[in-house]
Structures are given as structure tokens and as C-alpha cells.
Amino acid sequence: MIRVTVWTEFDKTDIPAPVAAAYPDGMDGCLGSILGGKDFKVTLANLFDADCGLSEKLLNDTDVLVYWAHSRHGAVPDDAVARVKNEVNKGMGAIFLHSAHHSKAFKALTGASGDLVWREIGEHERLWTATPAHPIAKGVEQGFVIPHEEMYGEPFDIPNPDCTVFLGWYAGGEVFRSGVTFTRGCGKIFYFQPGHETFPVYYQPEIRTILKNAVLWAAPSYRRVQLGCPNIKTSPEGIEGKL
């Protein structure tokens, strides 16, 4: 069983009307519903929970963190960011969705700015699989259409990814590395571009297939304790110090 925490920045009692219109069960509810059945244990968390929904205990008990945020990146305190980064390094998977490219946690894990260009006219996007053998692309049709999406365009300021799984094409003329993977420590990271909060993208079957694949892929087979920097006083070869 994979323990998934779906984290969003919304106050459940105060969701903006356009978001509620697109996601009547909340973005977290919609995302969580992708991972049904006995294979997954889903926890919904958000910025307004205790420890802003990113407590040490919850992260310790999380196999894969699914992270959606847009306008409240600044409200996440640095110690919560440090906990996420540390837990990913220990093996927790992390899936950063859409505008989470600018979350403190994504920037802390990649070491880059996450900058990009954008446009919000609701143009359609096509999603192409660049690496069909990647587990996240399993069962995904080539070039399927997302009817309305916010455009995110290159240059996307990220380190060279381990794998460019998906590329996005926009009607307006731009392209984007829409699905990319990274490794940090023992943790697997997937960034996925689709999912503007006012379009019901996460209800789309192809997108749901991708996200379920991503959670399965990011779930750790190995979770380490903190490495730290141990002093190995005795040399394996049994040599003495020369000082």
C-alpha cells in the first residue's frame, strides 16, 4: 500500500469561486480520487492545517507527496520546506504539479529558479510522450489534447532532467518540457505542467493515468535514515594515521 499525501494551498472553507467551479470536490479531492482502492492510502492536507500540513510526522508517514500550489508559495515557512527537502532526500517521492514549479520546495530540491514564461488565454495543449518506455508514460496516447490550459513556455529554468518524459505543444505557438524527472538523494521527483486551477484538467482520463503512473513510479523501494557525515575512524585497510 502506498501512502500518498495530496497537499494544496487552499483553505477548505474559502476556496475561490472559479476553482470551486472547476473542482467541486476541491483540487485535493479530485487528485485524491485518482488513487482509489486498497493499493493507496490517501491523506489530504493543506496550508491551513497544523504545521501548514507538512509536519514531520505526516511526511515521515508519506511515501509520495503530491503538491499543488500557486499563489501562496510565500506562506510556506522555510522550516516546512526544509522538512520536505530532507524527506525527499531520504526517499519520499514528490510530484510537483503545475504552478508548483515556483514553490519553495521545488526550487530547494532542484537548486534552480523554476522560472518560465506563461499566458492564460485557455488555449489548448497537446501532450507528447518523448520517452515511451518510461513507466509514467504507460498507456498514454501520443499527442492527446488538453482542451484548455494555461500556457507554460520555455525557457524553463531547471537542471538537466534525468528524463524528459513529456513535451507540451500549445496552440499559441510555444512548447514546454511538461513532464520531467529528477532524483535527489533516495527520492524520485516528477514535475508535471498541466493543471491550472480553473480548468478541470485533473478530471481528464489521460491526466489521471499519468498521475497514477507517477505515484507508482515515485513510491520508494528504499527509505534511508538520515545519512549525516559519519567519521569512519578505522580504515578498512587497517592503516595507521600518518600524522
Instruction: Considering the complex, state which of residue 9 and residue 28 has its C-beta at the smaller distance from its own copies.
Output: 9
Residue 177 makes contact with its own copies by CB under 8 A: yes
Q: How far apart are CA 207 and CA 212, in angstroms?
A: 9
Among 3, 43, 171, 206, binds its own copies (CB under 8 A): 171
Check residue 228 for interaction with its own copies (CB under 8 A).
yes
DSSP annotation of 197 reads: T
Output the smallest distance, CB 130 to its own copies, in A: 5
Residue placing its CB nearer to its own copies in the complex, 31 or 64: 64
Q: Is 56 in the site for its own copies (CB under 8 A)?
A: no
230 touching its own copies, by CB under 8 A: yes
Give the number of residues in contact with its own copies, rule: CB under 8 A.
Answer: 80
Please, are residues 179 and 200 in contact by the beta-carbon 8 Å criterion? Answer: no
Residue 13 interacting with its own copies (CB under 8 A):
no
Sign for the pseudo-dihedral over CA of 85, 78, 63, 94: negative
Nearest alpha carbon to residue 206 among 184, 178, 237: 178
Out of 174, 209, 212, 218, name the contact with its own copies by CB under 8 A.
Answer: 174
CB nearer to its own copies: pick between 30 and 81: 81
User: Site map for its own copies, 114-143, x if CB under 8 A?
Assistant: -xxxxxxxxxx-x-xxxxxx-x--x---xx
Pick 2 or 130: Cβ nearer its own copies: 130
What sign for the dihedral angle of Cα 171, 164, 133, 28?
A: negative
Query: C-alpha cell of 202?
Result: 485533473
Q: Does the footprint of its own copies cover residue 16 (CB under 8 A)?
A: no
55 binds its own copies (CB under 8 A): no
Per CB under 8 A, which of residues 188..227 are in contact with its own copies? 220-222, 224, 227
Radius of gyration, alpha carbons of the chain:
19
Q: CB-wise, 42 or 105, nearer to its own copies?
A: 105
| Total Cβ atoms within 10 A of residue 119 | 14
Handedness of CA 48, 49, 51, 53 (dihedral sign): negative
Distance between CA atoms of 55 and 162, rounded to whole angstroms?
29
Contact with its own copies (CB under 8 A): which of 7, 96, 182, 191? 182
Residue listed under C-alpha cell 474559502:
14
